């Protein structure tokens, strides 16, 4: 059995990569991918804790159920994100995040 610490470390690394991607990449698509990586890190944690839960043989199926749910929601989220990009691209002809300062 893989120790919990390894899994948590993996998740932490994935989270760090995701954060890095969001902050430093200019391309919006890649930012979106980074968001997905962060989500995956979170899901990773869910699965890890579920297998580590009270019953060591079966684990707690709740965590895995939530993981599946989160994956499905992440898929939906990506769709909406891409949709927003398309709309944004139509109005600005560009999705470079450096230029996207309208929120100021």
Binding residue for other proteins, selected from 19, 33, 53, 74, defined by CB under 8 A = 19
Check residue 101 for interaction with other proteins (CB under 8 A).
yes
Per-residue tokens: 77: 């989220």
What tokens were used for 90? 């139509």
Tokens of 40: 């995956």
Does residue 97 sit in helix, strand or coil? Answer: coil
Task: Map tokens 């994100």 to a residue.
Answer: 81
Helix axes 61-92, 28-51, angle to 10 degrees: 170
Q: Does 24 bind other proteins (CB under 8 A)?
A: yes
- Least CB distance to other proteins at residue 26 (A): 8
Smallest gap from residue 74 Cβ to other proteins (A): 18
Stretch that binds other proteins, among 16-24, 47-55, 64-72, 79-87 (CB under 8 A): 16-24
Shortest Cβ 59–other proteins spacing (Å): 25
* Terminal Cα-to-Cα distance of the chain (whole angstroms): 50
Q: Residue 54's Cα: distance from chain center in Å? A: 27
Nearer to other proteins, 34 or 51 (CB): 34
Binding residues for other proteins (CB under 8 A):
19, 22-24, 31, 97-98, 100-104
């Amino acid at each position: 059995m893989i120790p919990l610490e390894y899994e948590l470390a993996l998740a932490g690394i994935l989270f760090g990569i995701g954060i890095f991607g969001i902050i430093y990449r200019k391309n919006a698509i890649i930012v979106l991918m980074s968001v997905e990586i962060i989500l995956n890190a979170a899901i990773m944690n869910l699965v890890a804790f579920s297998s580590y839960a009270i019953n060591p043989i079966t684990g707690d199926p709740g965590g895995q159920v939530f993981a599946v749910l989160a994956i499905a929601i992440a898929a939906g989220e990506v769709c909406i994100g891409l949709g927003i990009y398309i709309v944004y691209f139509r109005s600005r002809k560009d999705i470079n995040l450096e230029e996207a300062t309208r929120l100021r």
